[in-house]
Amino acid sequence: MTDRSRQAVLLFGAPGVGKGTQGKALGCIPGFFHFSMGDAFRSLEPDSELGQKVSSYTSRGELVPDEVTVQLWKQTLEEIEESDAYRPETDLLVLDGIPRSVRQVQLLSPHVEVLRVLHLACGDERTKEHLVERLRKRALRENRADDAKVEVIRRRFEVYRAETQPVVEEYGPGVVVDFDPLGTPAEVLQRILSVVAPIQRDLTHKAAAAT
């Protein structure tokens, strides 16, 4: 098996738009494996060298350097594969929080094939302010004081526009599918499943034919 045999869909959108909620929901369905880059970062020991290095960026609302991010992603995913929790031959990988820059797209390309970018598109100013408040309340609820600062949250939106939005253009219209993120989580999930369920079915059929 080569690295490129990992097939994936990418959950994409501005901070607070609901990527994590949808990723967790998909991850509960057999045949899907949800990988959250945010969870991978949070699992780092805060006193470790890498943990401190990552915190120096995230506490300011900035992205961790691409090479460090992809290294951690690959290392964590390989550990998960070894535990047999994720099987690339039969499971569709749901990426959440990576890639977040054009450079990360390039670094990931040898290791995974992104079949669809599921873009939770939410761009008007009123919605952005709603997301800022949602993120602030969530950070306070999770006792993450640095992440609850409004200026840090607004900085995350600036970083998204400047560095992450070009990822959509990098993949192109043949791969990117826009979704309305408004509505109940079940309604949004239903929209996403209309696209990813056929992809997962095809992957299952290919795996069965190969045995």
State residue 198's pLDDT score: 93
16 has a pLDDT exceeding 60: yes
The Cα–Cα gap between 185 and 18 comes to: 8
Residue of 110 and 156 predicted with greater confidence:
110
Can you give the pLDDT at residue 99? 93
pLDDT number for residue 127: 67
> Rounded to whole angstroms, how far apart are CA atoms 24 and 159?
24
pLDDT recorded at residue 2 = 47
Q: What is the pTM for the complete model shown?
A: 0.81
CATH numbers and ranges of domains, the chain:
3-204 (3.40.50.300)
* Contacting residues for 165 by C-beta, under 8 A, at least 6 apart: none
Average model confidence (pLDDT) across the chain: 86
Candidates 68, 83, 70, 62; CA nearest to 155 is 62
Q: How far apart are the first and last CA of the chain?
A: 14
Are 151 and 211 spatial neighbours (Cβ–Cβ below 8 Å)? no
| Share of residues in the chain with pLDDT > 70 (%) | 94
The answer, yes or no, to whether residue 145 has pLDDT greater than 70, is yes
Tokens of 112: 């995974």
At 203 the pLDDT is: 87
Q: Give kind and range of the element (H or E) at residue 114.
A: strand 113-120
Nearest to 103 by CA among 19, 162, 164, 57: 164
pLDDT in tens, 173-201: 889 998 888 788 999 999 999 999 999 99
Mean pLDDT computed over 70-85? 91
* In contact, 115 and 196? CB cutoff 8 Å: no
pLDDT digits (tens, 9 = 90+) for 45-70: 888 887 888 888 878 877 789 998 99
| Confidence grade of residue 83 (pLDDT, cut at 50, 70, 90) | very high
Percent of the chain at pLDDT > 90 equals 40
